[in-house]
Amino acid sequence: MIGKKTLETDPIPMTNVKKILEDFSGKFELNYEQNLTLDHVNKFSELSFEDSEKLIDELESIIKRKYAIKIVDVLPEDLADLRLLFAKERIPIKKESMEEILDILNKYR
């Protein structure tokens, strides 16, 4: 696209995307892709904005922020689901850490 450039590439959770698009839709009309994105985050975001931020902060004590965001977006239910999220990553995560992550997630379900 002409005149468009990427300003930031930091990952953000779905709840932030939902909030941004809802604020934007109050001022402007959303285009097709934005409507699809808003529909997707409305269907699949399970936590509130405040809860997701608290959960990310808690998970950051164990893993990096980008992995915490990925976990908050998916909310895995067991160790197998959590392992799938890290299948392509090259970071070693111990079973104890994964169990601790699941314990933290269970507080927010």
Say what the pLDDT of residue 89 is: 84
Average pLDDT over the chain, rounded to an integer: 92
Say what the pLDDT of residue 28 is: 93
- Contact by Cβ (8 Å): 56, 68: yes
Question: CATH assignment of 49-108, given 3.90.79.10, 3.65.10.10, 1.10.150.80, 2.170.130.10?
Answer: 1.10.150.80
Task: Dump pLDDT digits (tens) for 34-87.
Answer: 999 999 999 999 999 999 999 999 999 999 999 999 999 999 999 999 999 988
Say what the pLDDT of residue 6 is: 82
Domain boundaries, the chain: 14-44, 49-108
Question: For residue 2, what pLDDT band results from cuts at 50, 70 and 90?
Answer: low
| Rounded Cα–Cα distance for residues 21 and 32 (Å) | 12
Q: What does pTM read for this prediction?
A: 0.85
By C-alpha distance, which of 44, 68, 48, 73 is closest to 56? 68
Q: Terminus-to-terminus CA distance in the chain, angstroms? A: 41
